[in-house]
Amino acid sequence: MDIISITGYGSLSALGNSNDSVWKSYKKEQHFLEVLTFDKVSGLVSKLPKDLEIEIDALRNSNSKYQNLDRTVLMAIYVGRKAIKSANWTCKSTFGINIGSSRGATSLFEEFYDDFVNNDLGKTHPLTSPTTTLGNLSTWVADDLQSQGPTISHSITCSTGLHAVLNGVAWINSGMSDRFLVGATEAPNTAFTIAQMQSIKIYAENKGSFPSRSLDFDKKRNTMCLGEGAAVFCLEKGVKENALAYIESVGYATEKLKHNISITDDADCFQDSMKMALKNSEGSIDVIVMHAPGTIKGDTSEYNAITKVFGEHMPAITSNKWKIGHTLGTSGSLSMELALLMLEHQEFIGIPYLSDLKYPEKINRIMVNAVGFGGNAVSIVLKRK
């Protein structure tokens, strides 16, 4: 594949909405999780700070067409604007857009369904279908940015964001597009979604200084929790002067489905995706930003896969799930943002409760991993500019 330049990006999460604010948040040895309580359910989540909530509300009220859009769509529009500005792309430029989401219009779907259940005549709001379709994501962003290129929206569970990167790379390498805006958006902090995660016994309890224990291989219970956020990246073919970093290689794999939510003990899908990415990488991997959701099986299986692939040449490993929880489809995109920041600042972001964590001697190449329910793994190698 041709090398791909990342020329800009935009993000929105509990960490902030700018390179500086996000980096400052990563430098703090604290998490951004808090208890969110509904009538029947409560759970630890990461959510947008109040000042960013105000900005999302302002975006909703800036256009009458945006009044009825789901939170996922509004966040996608917000980060899309930031990304093309940072890459110096102009509105009306021709570029493709692929923004995905694991769950899509979560809050709107739940609201509309509650209204339907409580309606004596069995009727629902006329906007139910058009505002809850997953295709809204890229379509509305394209409309807002006035792009004339192809628009793709998709869900591949928790590896959705990195699969969007794969799609952008494929389109660019095919010659069908020179530029692609790729990423994901997720707003899963709802009662029904939290209840679903709790029902499969993977949710964190509000205990200890760090309740989500990603990469703690001694933990005795699962510690995953949810978070919301969006992140998109501007991809361009070739080596660009304004590149932040380069996508050097990609890998992907899917395991044979044995269980709705599990992967094998040694994460065969990750072994295959990492091996594929390494075939086209020209140097050693210094850091791996792991998927590591904070579950016992998820963390250990990915780590086992890494040890099998790298053996004695183990890179340093880290994850951001202990800090912001699992943002589902956006998780890989926010991991990619962390990788870009470590490449830029030449500083490793570790995990404060792990005293024996290996630190890299240099940071020239970072592999970012993501996997979703059913074993849909992606590995992407980012190279320092």
Tokens of 217: 């291989």
Residue that the structure tokens 């709107």 belong to? 108
Residue that the structure tokens 């969006």 belong to? 230
- Extents of the domains making up the chain: 4-384
Query: Is residue 59 pLDDT above 90, yes or no?
Result: yes
The region of weakest confidence among 58-72, 170-184, 257-271 is 257-271
pLDDT-derived band of residue 255, with 50, 70 and 90 as boundaries?
confident
Give the contacts of 175 (CB within 8 A, at least 6 positions apart): none
Q: What confidence tens digit (pLDDT) does each residue in 214-244 have?
A: 999 999 999 999 999 999 999 999 999 999 9
Query: Is residue 91 pLDDT above 80, yes or no?
Result: no
Selection from 43, 26, 34, 74 nearest residue 185 by Cα? 74
Question: What is the reported pLDDT for 260?
Answer: 60
Selection from 222, 259, 291, 261 nearest residue 373 by Cα? 261
Beta-bridge partner residues of 368: 289, 380
Q: What confidence tens digit (pLDDT) does each residue in 296-343 have?
A: 999 999 999 999 999 999 999 999 999 999 999 999 999 999 999 999
Q: What confidence tens digit (pLDDT) does each residue in 178-201 have?
A: 999 999 999 999 999 999 999 999
Selection from 87, 70, 82, 84 nearest residue 137 by Cα? 70
Domain 4-384 in CATH 3.40.47.10? The answer is yes
Query: Is residue 259 pLDDT above 80, yes or no?
Result: no
Kindly report whether the global pTM for this prediction surpasses the value 0.95: yes
Query: Is residue 138 pLDDT above 80, yes or no?
Result: yes
Q: Are 293 and 225 in contact (CB under 8 A)?
A: no
Query: Is residue 261 pLDDT above 70, yes or no?
Result: no
